């Protein structure tokens, strides 16, 4: 499995990539593999405020529905509307086309406190 080194990770299997002062958020390759084929993503509204570890959205697979938690506090600045028509983008390219939201107003220190790729690999290989 792939875990880009420039990303940060959570124990709940979300990833964060900084683009300037915006945090791009998605779920990891490990998470999408565990969920199976995604069939629906309930995207949050633009402008929604989310707390750290608060529910960001829900993804549904052929196996189950699962909450996606926000790795950091912020405001939904953009959402990946392509997922409405093709939720499988998360399965196929979780770190690029499969991003879920972009958050504004995030704290760089909060992002710095998330796991590195190596720390995340250790977590999932326990």
pLDDT per residue over 68-119, tens digit each?
999 999 999 999 999 999 999 999 999 999 999 999 999 989 999 999 999 9
- Can you tell me whether residue 13 is helix, strand or coil? coil
Domain count, the chain: 1
Parent domain of 47: 8-124
Domain-located, residue 2: no
The pTM for the full model equals 0.95
pLDDT of 1: 81
Buried b (16+ CB within 10 A) or exposed e, 53-75: eeebbebebeeeebebbbbbbbe
What is the sign of the dihedral through the CA atoms of 102, 103, 104 and 106?
negative
Domain-located, residue 3: no
Domain-located, residue 80: yes
- Can you tell me whether residue 80 is helix, strand or coil? coil
Domain CATH for 81: 2.40.50.100
pLDDT of 71: 96
């Amino acid at each position: 499995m792939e875990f880009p080194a420039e990303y940060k990770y959570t124990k709940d299997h979300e990833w964060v990539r900084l683009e300037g002062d915006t945090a791009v958020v998605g779920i990891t390759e490990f998470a999408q593999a565990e969920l199976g084929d995604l069939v629906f993503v309930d995207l949050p509204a633009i402008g929604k405020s989310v707390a750290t570890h608060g529910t960001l959205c829900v993804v549904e697979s052929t196996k189950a529905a699962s909450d996606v938690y926000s790795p950091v506090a912020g405001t939904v600045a953009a959402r990946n509307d392509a997922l409405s028509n093709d939720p499988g983008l998360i399965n196929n390219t979780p770190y690029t086309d499969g991003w879920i939201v972009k958050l504004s107003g995030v704290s760089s220190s909060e992002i710095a406190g998330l796991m590195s790729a190596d720390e995340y690999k250790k977590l999932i290989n326990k």
